[in-house]
Amino acid sequence: MILEIVKCEGKRPLAPRESHYTREFWSKLSTGEFTSTRCQVCRKLMFPPRQHCPMCWSKKTDWVSLSGKGKLYARTTVHAGPLMFQQHIPYSVGIIDLDEGVRLIASIIDGDEKIQNDEEVQLIVLAYDDGPLFAVRKIESD
């Protein structure tokens, strides 16, 4: 599934550390594909992507595409944050349970209504001038 890409002006507030290994994740994210790794031995899905399985310690992992769909588990709104995030205050972050069973933390992009716990959300790509980040927003019903 290809995620919606939303253009954002300027640089990312906090650019992630990119390694030789995670370069594939960030490269695919920039095209709208959300990926992670799965262990070939025990089939454990991992996020963030890892070179070895935290369950069985196997180094046999594959890259897999994820839907980016899930539910909001919990959220908080930050009203006093680090200097690099001052232009975004207040901002919300949440814990997201993706449909594939992965739990992650992401910025929340609220629409007209504040997203509530257990509501369905979809990852989106925030395309900054210096690279991508991901965030979530509510899945709009048709």
Strand partners, 103: 97
Percent share of the chain, pLDDT over 70 = 99
Record the pTM.
0.91
Does 84 have pLDDT greater than 90? no
Dist CA 39 CA 25 (whole Å): 16
Question: How far does the chain reach from its first CA to its final CA, in angstroms?
Answer: 18
**Amino acid found at 17:** R
Confidence band of 141 (pLDDT split at 50, 70, 90): low
The tens digit of pLDDT for each residue in 37-72 reads 999 999 999 999 999 999 999 999 999 999 999 999
72 close to 94: Cβ distance less than 8 angstroms: yes
**Would you tell me how many other CB atoms lie within 10 Å of the CB of residue 25?**
22
Asked whether the beta carbons of 20 and 40 are under 8 A apart, the reply is no
pLDDT tens-digit readout, 107-131: 999 987 899 999 999 999 999 999 9
